[in-house]
Amino acid sequence: MFLILGLGNPGVRYRWTRHNLGFLVIDAFALSEGIRWRKDKRLCALIGEKEEIVICKPLTYVNQSGKALTEVREIYRIEEEDMLVICDDLSLPLGRIRIRRKGGDGGHNGLRSIIASLKSERFARMRIGIKNSTVDSLPSSAIPEFVLSKFERDERKVVKETIKRAVEAIKVVIEQGIEEAMNRFNG
């Protein structure tokens, strides 16, 4: 089994926020593959399955994503090497995709939670840039408000195109491997 985990916050209130880019991508992937979401009573997550693929949207908040991941891994017996985590990245320009085989949390609390739960950084991740021209001038105290803000109207076209590219990248990871996806999509 291969697990694809999209990070985001549950609820309509957060739907088009920057921090929910992982949810937006995994929803688009599910739609493209005809995968239906279902709530598994054993998990704090929405799950979808197709052949050897499991997709997951934690129903915890981003900062507790590791809890949901631990439950999903136990039930589906998924190894770290058979996972792809999709999340937003404040350090990357809006629309840039960066795929890595492993690595640190890069200041992302959802990745930090996952690393703490796994006790390992050895899982693939797709980070998608949300940084715009205002970020560098923001005080650190304003960052949480920024990541929880909705995309500006003029950013939405870039976001929609990025979601399409991210879905393509997921398919390449599944069909051709992480190296090929890194070569084709890392910007």
Domain parsing of the chain, residue ranges: 2-185
Nearest alpha-carbon partner for 36 in 22, 50, 25, 23: 50
Residue 132: per-residue pLDDT: 92
pLDDT of residue 42: 84
pTM: 0.95
The contacts of residue 79 (CB under 8 Å, 6+ apart) are none
Q: How far apart are CA 176 and CA 88, in angstroms?
A: 23
The CATH class of the 2-185 domain is: alpha beta
Residue 94 · residue 131 · CB < 8 Å: yes
Q: 108 an active-site residue?
A: no
Q: How many CB atoms lie within 10 A of CB 52?
A: 9
Task: Give the pLDDT confidence score for residue 107 in this predicted structure.
Answer: 87
Query: What integer pLDDT is reported at residue 161 of this predicted model?
Result: 98
Show the low-confidence residues of the chain (pLDDT under 50). none
Given the residues 19, 98, 108, 125, the one annotated as active site:
19
